[in-house]
């Protein structure tokens, strides 16, 4: 028997009033996977991220991370467990600089106490410098080190998306959830993003679960894809199978890709 | 670590020197009334900077800061009345102990109020702090043991101006240190976006409560200084006006800016206190005519609309814009004076007059209105005083252009 999957959704369901946004969804992610979650608008993809990261508690069903039940654990604890995410509608700390945004992510693993910070003791200074250095390294990975001191709200759209990835990476997660990371990017930016995602998986040893609308992008990048429609699973498998699956074509793709 | 200790020792020496200067100035004012103003202005710096920690840095809307000021003051007053006689300590040492006690009780109250209301999303804190401020005032008004609405006195008075200065410096240092170290970032992150902060592992409730309790404790310590300085307390000292004044200081100074809150505290406190005592040569209160008042209002309205125009459409260098702004303001003032003189000379307006000191709150409201219209982020916005800025002022070659380009 191999080790347990990194992430496992077991019949996860969430209901908002009369609407079942995610309906009996089950899938597993193993360490090192590059996993795609696709489906038409309103299918429940972002809601899946929200129940995995503790924004909402599933109405029924369970979510396991490294074999441990994490359904309903609050967001900040989930981040400590090693799952971090980006947001479809970018949520940067707008007034903070690009570098500071990433340091917030890194601060999750801080060791000095608040008292050291309030009195600016040497250990707090040292830790701050260290976190800034680490953040700077991540900014290089996503190609943003040249704008490290700019206000994050002033960055163009594509850069803001990459900054969100760097910020999430700073929490040192094992599982990274990317919600439409390529939305609003031009083809060249998308190619660069693809490289970044590969690096994150191969160099940094992360597992990546991503939501994306651009089929070319997902099909080219992900090794396994899960298709959701109106909260329900309609297909699950490698890109080749998904591409030719009649149900997927009917519900989502419209025509074969 | 050599550099650390050099900086640290230099800061402490500078702080002590500041306290010494404050003390010297205070004791040489020669007039009890001025001394009191001076001390109160210092206390307001602490109050404003500590509220800025809650409202500006952490983004929680607390509007009842006077409540914690009051709790600190009453704690110190009650304890002094009960125990001062039975202990052998120096008055200054007693003051320090009272500051700690006042801070502790205010912190506990902060925890009591903050914990339930800060767990919830939304602006519950504003409502709860507003209510809390009124409740404890009413409780004190109905407690005969503290003299009800007449208040109570206790001895001895401990007038220690240097302590006022020291508390303000400590408050500023705490906030500045927080922002200098990575520990401040979660607070700012909570202000910017709670959901994202939480996704990055920030315990949002804990962070908010920490800011609230710390801010309350500092206000409580300021209350203890006030109590021992006056030797007398009553509930009316801590009316809602005080909370409103502190809040105005934070908003005007630029929410989030420590420098802004501190400067606005001094400026606003003097703006509302000085008119109280401006007198004409024969000891009468200054009167202001209805015509002057109307013209002043008109001038402000015109100045605001012109300044907005300049702000939106003028793209020249900053110094030229500054000159234009000042020109508009100066022109408006001059125009208002001339027009009101003309109007006063005619009999159109009659001779309706107002006492100037009744207009204190009006002036405060107008200032708030003007700043909100022209610069919603506050005068200093999020900028802080820094030595780099001073250096740049004195250097001829301005390299800020290079910074923008990079
Ligand atoms: N907090 C909520 N309350 C009510 N309905 C919600 C909530 N969050 C999401 N939904 C609904 O759930 C459905 C799925 O939304 P979402 O997960 O954002 O879709 P997408 O697949 O496009 O990311 C939508 O119909 C949306 O309106
Ligand atoms: Mg979505």
Q: How many helices (H) and strands (E) does chain A have?
A: 10, 10
Q: A92, B193: Cβ pair inside 8 Å?
A: yes
Instruction: Compare A252 and A86 and report the one with higher pLDDT.
Output: A86
- pLDDT, tens only, B346-399: 766 666 777 777 777 777 888 888 888 877 777 777 778 777 777 776 665 544
pLDDT by residue for chain B (406 residues), tens only, comes to: 578 888 889 999 999 999 999 999 988 888 888 898 899 999 999 999 999 999 999 999 999 999 999 999 999 999 999 998 887 788 899 999 999 999 999 999 999 999 998 887 767 888 999 999 999 999 999 999 998 999 999 988 898 999 999 999 999 999 999 999 999 999 999 999 999 999 999 999 999 999 999 999 999 999 999 999 999 999 999 998 899 999 999 988 887 889 999 999 999 898 888 777 776 667 677 777 777 778 888 888 888 888 888 877 877 787 788 888 888 888 888 888 888 888 877 766 666 777 777 777 777 888 888 888 877 777 777 778 777 777 776 665 544 443 433 3
> How high is the pLDDT of residue A49?
96
| Inter-residue long-range contacts of B328-335, CB under 8 Å, 24+ positions, other chains counted | B328/B303, B329/B303, B332/B299, B332/B300, B332/B302, B332/B303, B332/B306, B333/B299, B335/B295, B335/B299, B335/B302
Among A121, A148, A116, smallest CA distance to A134 is for A148
Q: What is the tens place of the pLDDT at every residue in A118-164?
A: 999 999 999 999 999 999 999 999 999 999 999 999 999 999 999 99
Q: Tell me the C-alpha distance between A95 and A108, whole Å.
A: 20
What letter would DSSP give residue A253?
Answer: I
- B2-277 has which fold? ABC transporter involved in vitamin B12 uptake, BtuC (1.10.3470)
Nearest partner of B126 among B175, B65, B192, B83, judged by Cα: B65
The interface predicted TM-score of the complex, written ipTM, equals 0.94
Q: Looking at residue B350, what is its pLDDT?
A: 62
* Whether the Cβ atoms of residue B167 and residue B225 lie closer than 8 Å to each other: yes
A39 lines ligand 1 (CB under 6 A): yes
**Residue owning tokens 């699950």:** A236
Residue with tokens 């409202």: B55
The angle formed by the CA atoms of residues B224, B229 and B235, to the nearest 5 degrees, is 65
Chain A neighbors of B178, CB-CB under 8 A: 117-118
Chain B residues bordering chain A (beta-carbon distance below 8 Å): 1, 4, 174, 177-178, 180-186, 188-189, 191-193, 195-204, 210, 214, 256, 382, 406
Cα-based angle A41, A44, A45 (whole degrees, multiple of 5): 85
Closest ligand (CA of A180) = 2
Compute the distance between CA of residue B51 and CA of residue B172 in angstroms, rounded to an integer: 11
pLDDT of residue A2: 55
Query: What is the tens place of the pLDDT at every residue in B215-235?
Result: 999 999 999 999 999 999 999
For chain B, residues classed under CATH 1.10.3470 are 2-277
Give the closest residue (by CA) to ligand 1 atom 4.
A16
Structural domain A1-82+173-257, CATH architecture: 3-Layer(aba) Sandwich (3.40)
Burial class for A139, CB neighbours closer than 10 Å (0-12, 13-18, 19+)? buried
Measure CB to CB from residue A107 to each of B180, B182, B210 and give the nearest one: B182
Q: Which residue of B has its CA nearest to A169?
A: B200
Find out whether the beta carbon of A42 lies less than 6 Å from any atom of ligand 1: yes
**Ligand 1 and A231: CB distance under 6 A:** no
- The Cα–Cα gap between B212 and B68 comes to 11
Q: Quick check: A204 and A235 in contact, CB under 8 A? A: no
How many helices and strands in chain B, by DSSP H and E? 16, 4
Within 13 Å, how many C-alpha atoms sit on residue B219's CB side? Answer: 33
CATH 3.40.50.300 residue ranges for chain A: 1-82+173-257
Q: Residue B378: list chain A partners with CB under 8 A.
A: none
Q: Is the CB of A43 under 6 A from ligand 1?
A: yes
Residue A28 has pLDDT above 70, yes or no: yes
Residue of the CA atom closest to atom 16 of ligand 1: A44
Q: Which residues contact B30 (CB under 8 A, 6 or more apart)?
A: none
Q: Measure the CA–CA gap between B64 and B81, rounded to whole angstroms.
A: 27
């Amino acid at each position: 028997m191999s080790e347990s999957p990194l992430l496992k959704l077991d019949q996860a369901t969430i209901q908002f009033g009369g609407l079942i946004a995610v309906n009996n969804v089950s899938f597993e992610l193993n360490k090192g996977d590059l996993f795609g979650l696709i489906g038409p608008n309103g299918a429940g993809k972002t809601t899946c991220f929200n129940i995995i990261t503790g924004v909402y508690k599933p109405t029924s069903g369970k979510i396991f991370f490294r074999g441990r039940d994490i359904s309903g654990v609050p967001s900040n604890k989930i981040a400590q467990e090693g799952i971090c995410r980006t947001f479809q509608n970018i949520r940067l700390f707008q007034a903070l600089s690009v570098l500071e945004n990433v340091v917030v992510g890194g601060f999750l693993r801080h060791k000095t106490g608040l008292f050291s910070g309030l009195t600016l003791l040497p250990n707090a200074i040292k830790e701050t410098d260290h976190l800034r250095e680490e953040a700077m390294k991540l900014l290089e990975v996503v190609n943003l080190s040249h704008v490290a001191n700019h206000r994050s709200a002033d960055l163009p759209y594509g850069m803001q998306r990459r900054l969100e990835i760097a910020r999430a990476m700073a929490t040192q997660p094992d599982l990274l959830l990317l919600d439409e990371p390529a939305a609003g990017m031009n083809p060249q930016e998308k190619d660069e993003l693809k490289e970044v995602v590969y690096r994150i998986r191969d160099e940094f040893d992360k597992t990546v679960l991503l939501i994306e609308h651009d089929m070319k992008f997902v099909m080219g990048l992900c090794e396994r894809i899960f298709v959701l429609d109106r909260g329900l699973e309609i297909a699950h498998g490698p890109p080749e199978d998904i591409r030719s699956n009649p149900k997927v074509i009917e519900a989502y793709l419209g025509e074969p890709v | 670590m050599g550099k650390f200790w050099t900086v640290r020792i230099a800061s402490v020496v500078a702080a002590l020197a500041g306290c010494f200067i404050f003390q010297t100035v205070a004791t040489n004012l020669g007039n009890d009334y001025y001394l009191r103003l001076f001390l109160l202005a210092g206390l307001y710096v602490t109050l404003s900077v500590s509220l800025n920690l809650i409202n500006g840095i952490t983004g929680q809307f607390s509007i009842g800061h006077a409540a914690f000021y009051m709790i600190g003051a009453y704690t110190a007053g009650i304890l002094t009345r009960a125990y001062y006689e039975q202990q052998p300590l120096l008055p200054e040492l007693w003051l320090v102990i009272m500051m700690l006690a006042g801070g502790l009780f205010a912190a506990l109250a902060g925890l009591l109020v903050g914990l339930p209301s800060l767990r919830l999303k939304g602006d519950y804190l504003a409502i709860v702090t507003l209510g809390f401020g009124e409740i404890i005032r009413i409780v004190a008004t109905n407690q005969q043991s503290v003299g009800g609405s007449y208040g109570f006195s206790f001895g001895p008075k401990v007038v220690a101006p240097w302590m006022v200065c020291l508390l303000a410096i400590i408050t500023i240092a705490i906030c500045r240190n927080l922002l200098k170290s990575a520990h401040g970032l979660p607070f700012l992150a909570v202000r910017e976006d709670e959901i994202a902060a939480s996704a990055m592992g920030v315990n949002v409730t804990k962070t908010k409560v920490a800011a609230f309790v710390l801010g309350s404790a500092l206000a409580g310590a300021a209350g203890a200084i006030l109590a021992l300085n006056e030797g007398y307390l009553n509930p009316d000292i801590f009316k809602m006006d005080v909370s409103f004044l502190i809040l105005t200081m934070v908003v005007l100074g630029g929410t989030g800016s420590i420098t802004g809150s501190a400067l606005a505290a001094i400026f606003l406190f003097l703006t509302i206190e000085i008119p109280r005592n401006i007198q004409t040569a024969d000891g009468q209160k200054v009167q202001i005519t209805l015509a002057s008042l109307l013209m002043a209002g008109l001038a402000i309205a015109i100045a605001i609309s012109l300044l907005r125009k300049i702000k939106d459409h003028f793209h020249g260098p900053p110094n030229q814009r500054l000159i234009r702004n000042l020109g508009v303001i100066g022109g408006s003032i001059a125009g208002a004076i001339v027009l009101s003189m003309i109007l006063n000379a005619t009999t159109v307006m009659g001779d309706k007059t107002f006492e100037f000191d009744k207009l204190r709150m009006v002036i405060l409201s107008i200032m708030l209105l003007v700043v909100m219209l022209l610069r919603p982020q506050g005068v200093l916005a999020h900028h802080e005083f820094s030595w780099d800025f001073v250096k740049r002022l004195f250097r001829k070659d301005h390299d800020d252009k290079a910074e923008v380009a990079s």
